[in-house]
């Protein structure tokens, strides 16, 4: 994979990871419940789940690659359209970045062991129905046909997992400092993220022949 393509993948991954989802809300909730330091265990469990889900997506892409080059191109186009759809959905959303659900999730407070936090994070990743759809949409844009899939799987998934850990740490610190300001600017955040997703999807449609 060319360095420019990997950097592009990093930007898409960071955008996706910084868009609040179940794993981010879990990190925020656990930071309030068991403390910021122990939240790392649920985040590590979530990252392990990322490797499982992305592996399933990669297996499916390997089967498509072995079957038909045109089918793989179709998958890439559909993936780019899916990113645009995510952007439109986020743009139109009026939901707050972080709402009271995270506060409610911390009550009643209870003691949890480290392995339970890991299992919780793993479960969130494995039961997120959007995750495998996202990986199936994203990975074909950056897979290089003819090169070892397993090596590319490790590179792409490790990059995404690191981005996820960075986003969790960011939100844990952010919520502890400026929670009310983040909630108040939810609509602006949604439009920035949504517009960026749309732009990335359109960019992938234009450059997909160079990524193959």
Alpha helices in the chain (DSSP H): 3-18, 22-33, 39-67, 69-92, 100-104, 114-126, 129-138, 149-184, 186-211
- Angle among Cα 24, 169, 58 to the nearest 5 degrees reads 60
Q: Which pLDDT score is estimated for 75?
A: 66
Asked whether the bond before 127 is cis by omega within 30 degrees of 0, the reply is no
Q: Tell me, what DSSP letter sits at residue 19?
A: S
Longest dimension (CA), the chain: 53
State how far the Cα of 166 lies from the Cα of 98, in Å rounded to an integer.
18
What are the tens digits of pLDDT across the range 49-66? 899 888 888 887 667 666
State how far the Cα of 15 lies from the Cα of 190, in Å rounded to an integer.
12
What are the tens digits of pLDDT across the range 11-29? 889 988 888 777 887 887 7
Q: Comparing 82-86, 98-102, 116-120, 144-148, which segment has the lowest mean pLDDT?
A: 98-102
- Could you give the percent of the chain with pLDDT greater than 90? 15
Place of tokens 């939810």: 186
Q: Which pLDDT score is estimated for 211?
A: 42
Among candidate residues 194, 139, 175, the one with its CA nearest the CA of residue 8: 139
Hey, what are 134's tokens? 């996202």
Residue 67 has pLDDT above 50, yes or no: yes
State how far the Cα of 38 lies from the Cα of 2, in Å rounded to an integer.
37
Read off the pLDDT of each residue in 80-93 and give the average, rounded to a whole number. 77
Residue 176 has pLDDT above 70, yes or no: yes
| Distance, CA of 117 to chain centre | 19
State how far the Cα of 106 lies from the Cα of 31, in Å rounded to an integer.
9
| Distance, CA of 199 to chain centre | 17
State how far the Cα of 212 lies from the Cα of 114, in Å rounded to an integer.
43
Hey, what are 161's tokens? 């997992």
Q: Which pLDDT score is estimated for 209?
A: 47
Among candidate residues 90, 91, 85, 92, the one with its CA nearest the CA of residue 205: 85
State how far the Cα of 117 lies from the Cα of 206, in Å rounded to an integer.
42
Residue 130 has pLDDT above 70, yes or no: no
Question: Within 10 A of 111 (CB to CB), how many other CB atoms are there?
Answer: 7
Q: Tell me, what DSSP letter sits at residue 145?
A: T
């Amino acid at each position: 994979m060319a360095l420019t393509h990997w950097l592009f993948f990093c930007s898409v991954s960071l955008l996706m990871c910084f868009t609040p989802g179940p794993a981010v809300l879990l990190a925020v909730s656990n930071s309030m419940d068991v403390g910021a330091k122990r939240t790392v265990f649920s985040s590590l469990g979530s990252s392990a789940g990322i490797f499982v889900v992305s592996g399933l997506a990669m297996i499916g892409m390997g089967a498509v690659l072995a079957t038909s080059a045109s089918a793989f191109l179709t998958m890439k186009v559909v993936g780019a359209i899916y990113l645009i759809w995510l952007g439109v959905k986020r743009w139109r959303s009026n939901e707050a970045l972080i709402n009271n659900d995270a506060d409610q999730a911390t009550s009643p407070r209870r003691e949890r062991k480290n392995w339970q936090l890991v299992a919780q994070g793993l479960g969130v990743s494995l039961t997120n129905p959007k995750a495998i759809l996202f990986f199936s949409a994203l990975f074909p844009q950056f897979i290089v046909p003819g090169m070892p899939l397993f090596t590319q799987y490790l590179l792409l998934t490790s990059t995404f997992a690191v981005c996820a850990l960075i986003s969790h740490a960011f939100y844990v610190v952010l919520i502890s400092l400026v929670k009310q300001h983040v909630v108040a600017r939810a609509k602006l955040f949604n439009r920035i993220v949504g517009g960026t997703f749309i732009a990335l999807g359109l960019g992938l449609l234009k450059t997909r022949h160079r990524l193959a």
